[in-house]
Amino acid sequence: MQIKGSIEIQNPAVLDFIRKSAELLGAADVEIIDDSDDDRLIEEEVKAGKLFRLADGNFYARSHPQDVARSIDRTFVATRNPSDKGLHNNWRPTDELVPKVLEKMRGSMKGKKMYVIPYLMGPANSSFSRVGIQVTDSRYVVINMIRMTKVGKIALDSLGDSANFTHGLHCTGELDKLKHEDRYYVSVPDERMILSTGSAYGGNALFGKKFESLRQASYDARKEGWLAEHMLIMGIEDKKTGALRYIAAAFPSSSGKTNLAMMTPPPALTSRYRVWMLGDDIAWLRQGADGRLWASNPENGCFGVVPGTNEMTNTYALAMMQPGTKTIFTNVGYKPKTGNVWWEGKTEKPPQDEGWLDWKGHPWTPYSGTHAAHPNSRFTSKITNAPNLSPEWKNPSGVPISAIFFGGRLPAGEPLIRQLPDAASGVYDGATMGVRTTAAESSAIDQFRGDFMAMLPFMSYHEGDYFQHWLNVMEKLGDHAPAFFHVNWFNKGADGKFLWPGFGENLRVLLWALSRAEKSPEAEATVTPIGAIPKPKSLNLEGLKISSENLSALLRYDPDYWKHEMIRRTDFLATLGPRLPEKLFEIHLRVVEKVSGSEARRHAQDILEKSSQKKLSPSSRSKKNSPRLKSPTPAAIR
């Protein structure tokens, strides 16, 4: 085995890992990667015919046509602790799964080069940061990781002599021959190990993304008392008062996370407000020395969905793809003759000229009846290409979070915004959130799909324990906990049109929330069973044309919708069994009572007491409905 590369590794634990990996995988050549290798690797990939140089100096790639997105059913978690088995994490005992996957990988790099990617997640010199070593046979993965994480010397320096790094093995596998059941994307969080074979795209193969930042980090965060979340981070500056406040938000996919993170304020508000981006996908959050919750984005780049991106929807994403940014586009439409790319929504009208290929490389015209770009086509660009990147992105401590937002795409019932009464209710809201499925993602169209905290695909341990951990962190923050809100930009009217314009106009909603977080008397609200909803006049609507009917529909509490929703929530919470946190149990019953009355509450209580095999503690029983609580001495009710 020959180890080459522009940087040298001295750390014995890393060297040992490299040797053992090369031996298992059968790689003859090993190359250690540094960020500075990017241009050369790009050149090699272009020469190999796998990457195309575009007219503007950016790059275009195609994935294997069967390898276009994360696949949850092939994503597993293996640990030695059976209590890590959750509802959605495909848990397997380590001894059962890991040897099997390692055996599958054995010899799969024969005749190939093994690239070693030392990556740092988080700012250098920060207690937030973590290091991983990913070995891979894919140069495409390497150049993407260089954009998404801090690669090479910076990571090794950060690690020093420590053996405390994530051990990642990635083999693409023979994608042409592979059956779906031969794909394995495995987190082994109690051994800080990641094994992946059968893909070279996105979260399946770029270990810094979901594997390290969410599954591994959240497993460790639980032990260490912090949170690793699927959240954007942004700053909102009020140029008039000088106030600069930060928020974090978790939305399931297709609910506008990247567009919100990169938003441009609407014209009427640009002279007063400035919006800063810190992250569009991942937030690591922990209590700071001042007692507040601080957030940091561990990523170094954006791996954003391309279709739909244009001047109107996301100016800053477009800026990240400008000439000179060395952006890699994957799976969009491509015209070899001119070196241009196109995707649905890039221009109002599709290109009328000839010579276009679709994302699979087949000839394409707007009349082909197919997409030019795959719906999950992506751009990979370093975050430093974002013109609105906050200087605080580099701050080793992160930024203090004033408010947390949960939300998802729902056509009705869920108002534009509501504030949860306290942090524990915020956790309850995140735990029960979800979206309505659209034609693009599921055969079962228009079904509610639960996606708690937008974390369902990224769980490494049991959901009930995860919610309890969230509650513990919030309890520790006490009065310093951020304010919690639920937003929905996607309400539709009877004519099927969106009631709210969305995009930059969403700033108006965020500003109301920040005023509420600061308890400003101007942010008036109507308190409803599901939280505080803005009074229409308390939203800043300067320069926005919206009818009062639309506005009242957006800010309406719909009791019928919520009665149904409470039944769904009871069923969901019942699936947590004995690991349903008592606090969620208690909050849920309180909300059910307010929404649906005391009989419904008793019914929900019966279901949840049965599923969780516990009695709700008397202190949390409703005063109105529990005669036992009227007893003057607590002892008498135990």
- Contact by Cβ (8 Å): 584, 427: yes
Q: Hey, which bits of 314-472 come out as E strands?
A: 328-330, 333-335, 340-342, 356-357, 363-364, 378-382, 399-407, 417-419, 434-436, 448-450
Residue 210, binding choice from ligand SAT, Mn ion, none, Cβ under 5 to 8 Å by partner class:
ligand SAT
Q: Which does 89 bind (CB under 5 to 8 A by kind): ligand SAT, Mn ion, none?
A: none
Q: What share of the chain is helix, strand, coil (3-state, %, to 5)?
A: 35, 25, 40
- On whether the CB atoms of residues 296 and 248 are closer than 8 A, the answer is no
Of Mn ion, ligand SAT, none, which one sits near residue 570, judging by CB under 5 to 8 A according to partner kind? none
Structure letter (DSSP) for residue 214: I
Tell me how crowded residue 512 is: count the other CB atoms within 10 A of its CB: 24
Distance CA 170, CA 168 (A): 7
Q: How far is the CB of 375 from ligand SAT (least distance, A)?
A: 12
- Could you give the CA distance from residue 320 to residue 379 in angstroms, rounded to a whole number? 9
Q: Which does 37 bind (CB under 5 to 8 A by kind): Mn ion, ligand SAT, none?
A: none
| Residue 255 neighbours by CB under 8 Å, 6+ apart | 407, 408, 409, 435, 454, 489, 490
Judged by beta carbon, residue 132 or residue 202, the one nearer ligand SAT is: 202
Q: What is the closest distance, in whole angstroms, from the C-beta atom of residue 503 to Mn ion in the complex?
A: 19
In the bound complex, which residue of the shown chain has the CB atom lying closest to Mn ion?
281
In sequence order, which residues have a C-beta less than 8 Å from that of residue 145 and are 6 or more positions away?
117, 119, 134, 151, 206, 207, 208
From the list ligand SAT, Mn ion, none, pick the one residue 371 interacts with, judged by a Cβ distance below 5 to 8 Å according to partner type: none
Binder among 281, 463, 565, 586 for Mn ion (CB under 5 A): 281
Closest CA to 511 of 523, 529, 499: 523
Stretch that binds ligand SAT, among 201-209, 352-360, 383-391, 550-558 (CB under 6 A): 201-209
Which of residues 231 and 481 has its CB atom nearest to ligand SAT in the complex? 231
DSSP assigned state of 566:
H
Closest C-alpha to 213, from 293, 114, 145: 145
- Per-residue binding letters, 56-85, with ligand SAT (x by CB under 6 A): --------------x---------------
Q: Would you state the torsion angle of the CA atoms of residues 410, 413, 415, 416, taken in this order, to the nearest 10 degrees?
A: 30
**How do 184-188 and 193-197 pair as beta strands?**
antiparallel
Q: Is 281 in the site for ligand SAT (CB under 6 A)?
A: yes
Interaction between residue 280 and Mn ion (CB under 5 A): no
* Nearer residue to ligand SAT within complex by CB, 426 or 450: 450
Of residues 300 through 359, those in contact with ligand SAT by CB under 6 A are 303
Q: Is 505 in the site for Mn ion (CB under 5 A)?
A: no
DSSP 70-82: --GGGEEEEES-G
Do 116 and 144 touch, CB atoms closer than 8 A? no
CA 415 to chain centre: 22
Contact between 203 and ligand SAT per CB under 6 A: yes
Smallest distance from Mn ion to CB 119, Å: 18
- By CB under 6 A, is residue 279 in contact with ligand SAT? no
| Interatomic CA distance for residues 489 and 161, integer angstroms | 48
CA-wise closest residue to 220 among 378, 84, 64, 388: 84
Tally Cβ neighbours within 10 Å of residue 92: 18
Least Å from the CB of residue 284 to ligand SAT = 16
Confirm or reject binding of residue 379 to ligand SAT (CB under 6 A): no
Tell me which residue has tokens 């001495």.
633
Residue span binding ligand SAT (CB under 6 A) among the ranges 134-142, 202-210, 466-474, 594-602: 202-210
The size of the interface with Mn ion (CB under 5 A), counted in residues, is 1
Beta-carbon contacts of residue 303 (< 8 Å; ≥ 6 apart)? 144, 147, 148, 202, 206, 209, 281, 378, 379, 380
For the segment 394-433, give every residue that binds ligand SAT (CB under 6 A): none
How big is the site for ligand SAT, counted in residues (CB under 6 A)? 8
Closest listed residue to residue 232, CA positions, set 195, 192, 288, 278:
278
The DSSP H or E segment spanning 32 is strand 29-32
Report the chain's C-alpha Rg in angstroms: 25
Stretch of 60-68, 184-192, 275-283, 463-471 contacting Mn ion, by CB under 5 A? 275-283
CB of 555 to Mn ion, least distance (A): 29
Query: Which entry of ligand SAT, Mn ion, none binds 91, CB below 5 to 8 A by partner kind?
Result: none
Query: Which CB sits closer to Mn ion, 34 or 212?
Result: 212
Select from Mn ion, ligand SAT, none the partner in contact with residue 203, using the beta carbon and a kind-dependent cut-off of 5 to 8 Å. ligand SAT
Could you tell which of Mn ion, ligand SAT, none binds residue 209, using a CB distance below 5 to 8 A set by kind?
Answer: ligand SAT
Tokens at 516, concatenated: 């509420």
Site map (CB under 6 A) of ligand SAT, residues 235-274, x = contact: ------------------x---------------------
**Residue 451 binds which of Mn ion, ligand SAT, none (CB < 5-8 A, kind-dependent):** none
Residue closer to ligand SAT by CB (options 60, 562) is 60
* Cβ-based nearer residue to ligand SAT, 203 or 265: 203
If DSSP states are collapsed to H, E and C, what string results for 246-311?
EEEEECCCCCCHHHHHCCCCCHHHHCCEEEEEEECCCEEEEECCCCCEEEECCCCEEEEECCCCCC
Q: What's the min distance (Å) between Cβ of 575 and ligand SAT? A: 24
Least Å from the CB of residue 216 to ligand SAT: 14
- For the CB of residue 230, give the shortest distance to Mn ion in the complex, in Å: 6
CA distances in angstroms from 334 to 69, 246, 365, 463, listed in the order given:
20, 38, 11, 42
Q: Which of 257/516 has CB closer to ligand SAT?
A: 257
Could you say whether residue 147 binds ligand SAT (CB under 6 A)? Answer: no
Closest approach of ligand SAT to the CB of residue 215, in Å: 11
**414 binding Mn ion? (CB under 5 A):** no
Does residue 202 interact with ligand SAT by CB under 6 A?
A: yes
Residue closer to Mn ion by CB (options 156, 455) is 455
Closest approach, Cβ 322 to Mn ion, in A, equals 23
Taking the complex as a whole, the smallest distance from the CB of residue 253 to ligand SAT amounts, in Å, to 6
> For binding to ligand SAT (CB under 6 A), which residues are involved?
70, 202-203, 209-210, 253, 281, 303
> For binding to Mn ion (CB under 5 A), which residues are involved?
281
